[in-house]
A and B are shown apart, each in its own frame.
Chain A
Amino acid sequence: MAHVRLNGITKRFGAHTALENLDLEIEDGQFFVLLGPTGAGKTTTLRLIAGLEKPTAGTIEIGGVDVGDWGAAERDVALVLQQYSLYPRYTVRQNLEFPLKSNIRRMAQPDIDQRVARAAKTLRIEHLLERKVDRLSGGEMQRVSIGRAIVRSPRIFLMDEPLSNLDAKLRETLRSELKDLQVKLGATFLFVTHDQIEAMSMGDKVGVLNNGRLAQVGTPYEIYHHPRDTYVAGFVGSPAMNLLAADLLGDRMRIPSGAIEFAVSPALRARLGRSSGPVTLGIRAENVHLDPAGLIEARVWGFENHGVEKIVTLKTGDCLFKATMPASIPTAIDEPMRLTFDQSRLHAFDAATGRNLSQEGRELAAAE
């Protein structure tokens, strides 16, 4: 069993705290994605599990056994990095055989052949087996590095931004392939990335890391539709969720920067769980619509045409926000537009802590 559990992991490098009291659980056979910006602690987490770093505090269990004293080799995990680190003078076959020929394994040649053949077939690189690695494209090299991990049948695959160096189209193809591969192998994957699209499209579960702390763990659906705080709300989704400072006064909500004011629906009021004070309102761009009778009067500040749709940045007063529109809608800078949103689509966060004010959010805050 390749169940992974991190209990209260803290990792410091000198005065810098990379990870702070991290609890994390990855189930056997799960595709778990750790998502966060540069410096959030993603790679450190990976290296701790791989045994390349020792935690300052806390324990790591693999398959229910504390592996704190185990070296990297004994943990039987495979690491796939952004840089391929293949042997350039070797053929693909030699690169794939390499981890199986180590002295501690002493595997028989027919066994090795069989494993290499199976990995090559899975990754569709059979036709490349006799080719030297330096004659491969980036995508092919990354397939070979993954192949080198597969042949060992490790207990866990740890992947550190393996797709980041590839061009967009190839990245998209490999995303599907990796997900298929994981399902086919039934293996446990821990995949680290700063790209939320990779996280959403591949992860069974996504953990969002913020500054060494785990902000939220959930399915892609949960973290997109029920972000636990403003950090997750802003990080997951493209474009980022609009987050606006607002004041609640009884049944009126005011967004001062945009001079926007509206009557709070009873349903929203129930979700807010308070009757006055500052809150941060969140609304995704796809939930802001054009409406000739809309509440918000704004001007076009910028727009991005993505072909299938258009992301328009609008300005009212000092307030900038984004709306997704069909690509067919004409837009010009400074053109006036009227917009509206459905209150049921609003997220509300505590202005001070950033916590989601929904029922679950309040319960979580109370529990901590």
Chain B
Amino acid sequence: MAEIVLSNVQKFFGAVQVIRDMNLTIADREFVVLLGPSGCGKTTTLRAIAGLEDITSGEIRIDGKPVQDLEASQRDIAFVFQLYALYPHLTVFENIAFPLRAAGGARADVEREVNAVARALDIGHFLGKRPSALSGGDMQRVAIGRALVRRPKAILMDEPIGALDAKLREDMRAELKRLHIENKATSVYVTHDQVEAMSLADRIVVMSEGVLQQVGTPIEVYQNPANLFVAQFIGSPVMNIADATLETEGDEAKVRLGDAGEAFRVPLALPGAIEASGRGAGGLSLGIRPEGVIVAHGPGKGLVPLEAHGIEPLGAYDIVDLKVGSGVLRARTASGFVGKPGDTVFARLDETQTHFFDTRSGQSLGVRLGA
């Protein structure tokens, strides 16, 4: 069990800064996911915690003790890679037992610990097999077993299920989460897949270009993204973002998206609230997730007629592309709700799910009405 603290961590590869002013506290027993596109510095951060990578400046503390000068092997941390890194000539049992034997564990203890881990991971039935006889998912289970068997203070995982098929990934996700609930080791997990992050994390750390963008629970980063990057990186389909122009006519306020002909109604208090935020000097962008675009078959008050362009039938629901000027607004509807491309439907924006950002800085204005 371990608390991991990063203070003012900087990391350069030559002239390139890959981690910038990183400050992060990972609580004991917490499951934290570092999320971002390739090259954002998430793997480097993980490797720095593990001791596989030096940091240029700053401090990393595990349970209050600075560890920069400790070798990876002395940090009592386990690492799981995307490539399983199993010993091909050893059985599954021997692979899992390896770290215990290396530490000089007694035979009976080794056996007991390996069997306990095998039970937790449901891999007891192939302990006698060689890794080459296993599927990708099973190999990764073994790799995780080998990490857990030492009962490390913390377990660090670098895209451990990224190489698996979509379906298997889904199963492994649920297993990893359950495993964490059961053994409570502090876990730091790196991925570029936001679904994994949302599903697994107690808190998500969103990174881009070496800079921490937002730290929060899955619900916080989903519902209150701090900036355009987070807004568009979390959530699938991606949040709709459009240039927004506010218009006030008498007792009605409207927002026009891009070059659209017709504008959407918004609460009358909105223009004032945006002004009061003191931001938005860099232009205004509106963000709304597909589930915030409410679609109806018939006209009604506050509904804007729009033509459906494409329909993605995803089974439980559809994603419908609605033409708004020269752009597209994606809406989530019930399966089969919109008949076919070319049909006209009527839509409005749910004000509780409408976000506003400063276009130039990308920062959220923090203005949301009715939420």
Contact = CB atoms under 8 A, between A and B. Distances in A.
A and B from one complex = yes
Interface of A: 37-38, 167-169, 172-173, 175-176, 179-180, 194-197, 200-202, 220-221, 224, 235-240, 284-286, 301-302, 304-308, 311, 313, 324, 327, 333
Report the interface size class on chain B: 35 or more
A180 B321 CA distance: 12
B124 interface: no
A161 to B, nearest CB: 11
B195 A306 contact: yes
A304 B194 CA distance: 12
B314 A201 contact: yes
A241 to B, nearest CB: 10
Nearest to A171: B236
A176 B236 CA distance: 13
A301 B177 CA distance: 10
B348 to A, nearest CB: 18
Given A284-B316, A308-B291, A172 B237 contact: yes
Contacts of A307: 198, 218-219, 222-223, 234-235, 289
Contacts of B168: 37
Given A200-B313, A305-B218, A333-B181, A167 B170 contact: no
B236 A304 contact: no
A195 B166 CA distance: 6
A327 B198 CA distance: 12
A308 B332 contact: yes
Contacts of B310: 176, 179-180
A302 B174 contact: yes
Contacts of B181: 302, 333
A283 to B, nearest CB: 12
Interface string B237-267: 1100000000000000000000000000000
A333 B223 CA distance: 23
Contact of B235 (A175, A195, A308): A308
Given A200-B315, A221-B313, A168 B192 contact: yes
Contact of A304 (B167, B177, B192): B177
Contact of A239 (B170, B198, B289, B291): B170
B236 A305 contact: no
Contacts of A38: 136, 165
30 contacts: A37-B167, A38-B165, A167-B37, A168-B195, A169-B232, A173-B238, A196-B167, A197-B166, A200-B312, A200-B314, A201-B312, A201-B313, A201-B314, A201-B319, A224-B313, A240-B170, A284-B315, A285-B316, A304-B174, A304-B177, A305-B218, A305-B219, A305-B222, A306-B199, A307-B219, A308-B289, A308-B291, A311-B199, A327-B219, A327-B222
